[in-house]
Amino acid sequence: MEQTAITAIRITAAQAIQKANSGHPGMAIGSAPAAYTLWKQMRHNPQNPHWANRDRFVLSCGHASALEYALLHFFGYGLTMEDLKQFRQLGSKTPGHPEYGHTRGVEATTGPLGQGFAMAVGMAMAEAHKAAVYNREGYPIVDNYTYTMLGDGCMMEGVASEAASMAGTLRLGKLIALYDSNRITIEGDTDITFREDVAARFAAYGWQVLDVPDGEDTAALAAAIAEAKAEAGKPTLIIYHTVIGVGTPVAGTAKAHGSPLGAAGMLAMRAHYNWHHPDFDVPQEIYDHYNTLTTPGTEAEADWNALFARYAKEYPELAAQWQQDHAPNLPIDLLQDEAFWHFEGKAASRVSSGEILNRLAARLPNLFGGSADLAPSNCTYLKGLGDYSAENYAGKNLHFGIREFAMAAACNGIALYGGLRTFCATFFVFADYLKPALRLSALMGLPVIYVLTHDSIGVGEDGPTHQPIEQLAMLRATPNTLMFRPADAREVAAGYIAALTHSGPTVLALSRQNLPLYENSGPAALQGAYILREPKGTPDVILMASGSELELLYKAADLLSVQGYTARIVSMPCWELFEAQSPAYRESVLPKSIRTRVAVEAAIPFGWERYTGDNGKIIALTGFGASAPAEQLYAHFGLTGEAIAKAALETIKS
By the 8 A CB rule, do 591 and 583 touch? Answer: no
Is 76 strand, coil or helix? coil
Q: Which of 269, 356, 440, 577 binds a copy of itself (CB under 8 A)?
A: 440
How far is 110 from 73, CA to CA, in rounded Å? Answer: 19
Nearest one of 618, 615, 364, 395 to 499, comparing CA atoms? 364
Q: Which is nearer to a copy of itself, 392 or 561 (CB)?
A: 392
459 secondary structure, DSSP code: G
Residues contacting a copy of itself: total by CB under 8 A: 108
- Binding piece for a copy of itself, criterion CB under 8 A, among 103-111, 120-128, 263-271, 309-317: 103-111
- Binding piece for a copy of itself, criterion CB under 8 A, among 218-226, 263-271, 311-319, 393-401: 393-401
> Is the Cα dihedral 154, 157, 160, 165 positive or negative?
positive
How far is 351 from 356, CA to CA, in rounded Å? Answer: 9
Beta pairing class for 567-571 and 541-545:
parallel
Is 461 a known active-site residue? Answer: no
Nearest one of 3, 175, 149 to 68, comparing CA atoms? 149
Per-residue interface string for the shown chain with a copy of itself, residues 73-92, x marking contact by CB under 8 A:
---------------xxxxx
Q: Which is nearer to a copy of itself, 39 or 433 (CB)?
A: 433
How far is 226 from 485, CA to CA, in rounded Å? Answer: 49
- Binding piece for a copy of itself, criterion CB under 8 A, among 302-310, 343-351, 368-376, 532-540: 368-376
How far is 479 from 499, CA to CA, in rounded Å? Answer: 15
Question: Least distance (Å) from a copy of itself to the CB of residue 190?
Answer: 8
Question: Least distance (Å) from a copy of itself to the CB of residue 104?
Answer: 17
In the range 133-162, which residues lie near a copy of itself by CB under 8 A?
152-154, 156-162
SS (H, E, C) 564-627: CCCEEEEECCCHHHHHCCCHHHHHHHCCCCCCCEEEECCCCCCCCHHHHCCCCEEECCCCCCCC
In the range 538-597, which residues lie near a copy of itself by CB under 8 A?
none
Per-residue interface string for the shown chain with a copy of itself, residues 459-478, x marking contact by CB under 8 A:
-xxxxxxx--xx--xx-xxx
Q: b/e per residue, 522-547, with b = 16+ CB within 10 A?
A: bbbbbbbbbbbbebeeebbbbbbbbb
Per-residue interface string for the shown chain with a copy of itself, residues 416-435, x marking contact by CB under 8 A:
-------------xx-xx-x
Interaction between residue 389 and a copy of itself (CB under 8 A): yes
Question: Least distance (Å) from a copy of itself to the CB of residue 429?
Answer: 8
Question: Least distance (Å) from a copy of itself to the CB of residue 606?
Answer: 4
Q: Which is nearer to a copy of itself, 8 or 452 (CB)?
A: 452
Interaction between residue 324 and a copy of itself (CB under 8 A): no
Q: Which of 607, 638, 646, 652 binds a copy of itself (CB under 8 A)?
A: 607
Q: b/e per residue, 620-652, with b = 16+ CB within 10 A?
A: bbeeebeeeebeebbeebebbbebbbbbbbebb
Q: Which is nearer to a copy of itself, 52 or 113 (CB)?
A: 113
Q: Which of 192, 263, 339, 584 binds a copy of itself (CB under 8 A)?
A: 192
Question: Least distance (Å) from a copy of itself to the CB of residue 11?
Answer: 20
- Binding piece for a copy of itself, criterion CB under 8 A, among 50-58, 128-136, 491-499, 607-615: 607-615
Beta pairing class for 184-185 and 188-189:
antiparallel
How far is 598 from 212, CA to CA, in rounded Å? Answer: 65
Q: Which of 99, 157, 404, 601 is catalytic?
A: 404
Is 431 strand, coil or helix? helix
Burial degree of 344 (CB within 10 A; 0-12, 13-18, 19+): exposed
Q: Which is nearer to a copy of itself, 53 or 371 (CB)?
A: 371
Interaction between residue 480 and a copy of itself (CB under 8 A): yes
Q: Which residues are catalytic?
A: 404
